A and B are shown apart, each in its own frame.
Chain A
């Protein structure tokens, strides 16, 4: 209690975790995958907060509703899977998705295009790979099968090099399409594909919160207290539509922040953030 009373600011990481958590509906089955500490914390926060009936499937262990001892930097760890109520096998999780019973999945990319297609496979082309990325795990399958997808990235902000060039995270095109969004690279709509799921409906970045418009195009929905439309446009390679009801993203409550800090004493989630972003704090409103 005393701790909570002292919490007067939240970090960027905690704001992103809260925003990801807000995308999670109560009563669904959701899977946090691996290499995704912000998402892992968001699922636990959602379950404790507004989604008590969430069927929370831990990535890599496939344990259901665990109470992690603490967040570890490696996802397939007993600490992450402590007291899981029951377990799925790898085939069962993916079968649930294929049969339309995975409510939400969380995916990221080194390149994210305007339709929500993403690349985590490689930069370069078929003849020459300039950067081999780790690969997408089951993201390719789940981007088609999951009912909904939340996209997240903590590296939206770009910096120009000495020649004024930028390597965009939200980019015009993906060098390789690992997971699918609302339209193919050629602009053909998702409706023409026999996918189960309806695609991404939310992107949470280090600069703001985004949705998708009627055409399936990324659209800015909410700023953070220290970001602006201009700043976000500068870090986005494609032209960015802005929602008519653009708002400022809500900050988490002190008890939520306290919960996150307790669950992640090693601050693993901050490893997703740039060192500059680890210094971003937001003043909570007076109670």
Chain B
């Protein structure tokens, strides 16, 4: 239980809750609401050997792989869909063996988190048997159901060390409000040992209560206000996905690990002493205003994807 009245801290202090070798659950999904500012800070703090668990992810996991922060990936998808295709840093890291591949599947993960949330040692599922995931996960067991006689797969409880989430709002106490799809964030928050969150804005509790509490405060270890903290992923309705920046990221990754280091990690992570410096580097207020104006007209919205 995390019950302190005031959970606010700096981004540096927030990220310091993650230790080398931790099992980390990153919130959001694909190009939506990834805790990118916190991940860049994690790289600056040189936190290593992480085991990542999650459902469908993209630039968040790829960035950490490109920075050499990851030892094991148990994600169920890492890529850029039809937008750019394969996640190149992730691919390189898996193919060289730098990252151990322990791919999982969405429902297996959901059931593992639920077992943790319910204090049970495992949850059963029908699927997975007949696939090669059983080889990647020797910890999954099969048993004959004592009621129906069916053969079921048992997936053990999964308690990530840390869930890292980017939400729209928090109050000082740590109650979180997420607009739009929570993806697996609520499950992550309830199953993990610690929950750390960046938020677009800190607001008084009365205001937050009116919007609705997505994740109750006592799950939450620490919070930090980081406006545009999901950039370049989206945090609708505040701002859309920055496809242009993601395209330059992808170009840097495409030309190999050295190019990615030189053309992305150095200018946008290591040379930015903090998040404000990053926001300037990606185009400052003018660029952010562009992303915020997605809802002014259909044309403006569509232009962001051209």
Measured CB to CB, the residues of A under 8 A from B are 34-35, 37, 60-63, 69-70, 72-79, 81, 87, 89-91, 94, 97-98, 121-122, 126, 129-145, 176-180, 184, 193-196, 265-266, 268, 271-272
Contacts and interface: CB of A to CB of B under 8 A. Distances in A.
B181 A141 contact: no
B50 interface: no
Interface in B169-185: 180-184
Interface string B233-252: 01011001101000000000
Contacts of A78: 180, 234, 236-237, 240, 294
Q: What are the 6 tightest A-B residue pairs by CB atom distance, in nearest-first order?
A: A138-B106, A134-B79, A144-B127, A141-B107, A132-B94, A73-B83
B87 interface: yes
Contacts of A35: 77, 79, 81-82
Interface string B85-119: 01100110011010001010111101000100000
Contact of B241 (A77, A81, A176): A77
B135 interface: yes
Nearest to B124: A98
A73 B106 contact: no
Contacts of A194: 126, 129, 150-152
B221 interface: no
B301 A60 contact: no
A177 B298 contact: no
Nearest to B151: A194
Q: Is the interface of B mostly helix, strand, loop or mixed?
A: mixed
Contacts of B151: 193-194
A61 B30 CA distance: 10
Interface in B36-50: none
Contacts of B240: 77-78
Interface string B165-204: 0000000000000001111101100000000000000000
Interface residues of B, number: 62
A62 B234 contact: no
A94 B306 CA distance: 34
Contact of B181 (A62, A97, A126, A142): A62
B77 A134 contact: yes
B290 to A, nearest CB: 16
15 contacts: A34-B81, A63-B181, A74-B80, A98-B126, A134-B77, A135-B79, A137-B77, A137-B106, A138-B106, A140-B128, A140-B131, A141-B106, A142-B107, A142-B127, A178-B133
Nearest to A121: B103
Contacts of B130: 144, 177, 180, 184, 193, 195
Interface in B4-33: 29-32
Contact of A79 (B97, B187, B301): B301
Contacts of B30: 34, 60, 74-76
Given A76-B32, A135-B76, 6 more contacts: A70-B302, A91-B110, A132-B91, A132-B95, A138-B55, A144-B128
B101 A129 contact: yes
B222 interface: no
Contacts of B236: 77-78
A12 B266 CA distance: 43
Interface in B44-91: 55-56, 75-83, 86-87, 90-91
B132 interface: yes
A195 B105 CA distance: 16
Contacts of B106: 90, 94, 137-138, 141
A158 to B, nearest CB: 19
A140 B133 contact: yes
Contacts of A60: 29-30, 32, 56, 181, 183
Contacts of B105: 136-141
A121 B79 CA distance: 12
B152 A179 contact: no
Interface of B: 29-32, 55-56, 75-83, 86-87, 90-91, 94-95, 97, 101, 103, 105-108, 110, 114, 125-133, 135, 150-152, 180-184, 186-187, 234, 236-237, 240-241, 243, 294, 298, 301-302, 305-306
Given A137-B56, A266-B306, A129 B95 contact: yes
Instruction: Among A89, A126, A135, A143, find the residue whose CB has the most chain B CB atoms closer than 10 A.
Output: A135
B181 A137 contact: no
A129 B94 contact: yes
A136 B151 CA distance: 23
Contacts of A90: 55, 106, 110, 183-184, 187
Given A134-B78, A184-B130, A61 B114 contact: no
Given A90-B184, A132-B90, A74 B31 contact: yes
Nearest to B110: A91
A77 B31 contact: yes
A257 B82 CA distance: 21
Nearest to A63: B181
Contacts of A196: 126
Contacts of B75: 135
Contacts of B184: 90
A61 B106 CA distance: 14
B32 A266 contact: no
B88 to A, nearest CB: 10
A179 to B, nearest CB: 7
Given A122-B101, A132-B94, A132-B95, A91 B127 contact: no
